[in-house]
Amino acid sequence: MVRDGVRNRGQASITGVALMVGLVIAGATLTVALGGVALTDLQDSTRLQQSELALTRFDSAVSTVALGRSSVQQVTVGRAGGASDAGGAATVRPNAGRLTVTFINASTGARCDVVDTALGSVVSESGDSEIAYQSGGGAATTRGWCRRRSSTTADGR
């Protein structure tokens, strides 16, 4: 609109400022939302890596004792309440598995259980992830998926 040779643009500047403020608020909200999700994922990943490292140290100490290189080893894996260098509380599950060794006579087919014992495990939980150590091997479970972390150590003496 032109009145007396002067253009009136009062509404255009107010609309522009409102649009800029809206874009800044939307951008800041989006940045905070995505940054929060990324930060949570990074924290979970770090806790999982710390748990894996703690149980690797535990595996090393257990192997040292089992192979006769030391009579005693001490490792801090986790403390109740989740405050630990392992990223979460570590628990012992005394009957988490079973080991059975069966001798089968090839000529008669007779079976004899030589060893039949319960196996315990040490488990460190962090969020929806779980790292377990059992009988010399480690496994990780995350969101229902399981993967081997370490193999058992065999010493053929």
Can you give the pLDDT at residue 83? 42
Is pTM, for the whole model, over 0.85? no
Q: Is residue 155 part of a domain?
A: no
Q: Does residue 78 sit within a domain? A: yes
In angstroms, the CA 113 to CA 101 distance is: 6
Residue 52 has pLDDT above 90, yes or no: no
> pLDDT tens digits for 108-130?
989 998 988 888 888 877 777 78
Residue 84 lies in a domain: yes
What pLDDT does 147 receive?
Answer: 67
Q: Are 89 and 127 in contact (CB under 8 A)?
A: no
pLDDT band at 77 (very low <50, low <70, confident <90, very high): low
In-domain check, residue 36: yes
Residue 86 belongs to what domain range? 2-150
Asked whether residue 16 is assigned to any structural domain, the reply reads yes
* Lowest mean pLDDT, pick from 3-7, 38-42, 129-133: 3-7
Residue 156 within any structural domain of the chain: no
Categorize the per-residue pLDDT at 156 as very low, low, confident or very high, splitting at 50, 70 and 90. very low
Q: Domain for residue 116, yes or no?
A: yes
Torsion of CA 121, 126, 128, 130, to 10 degrees: -20
C-alpha closest to that of 153 among 91, 52, 61: 61
**157 domain-assigned:** no
Question: Domains in the chain: how many in total?
Answer: 1
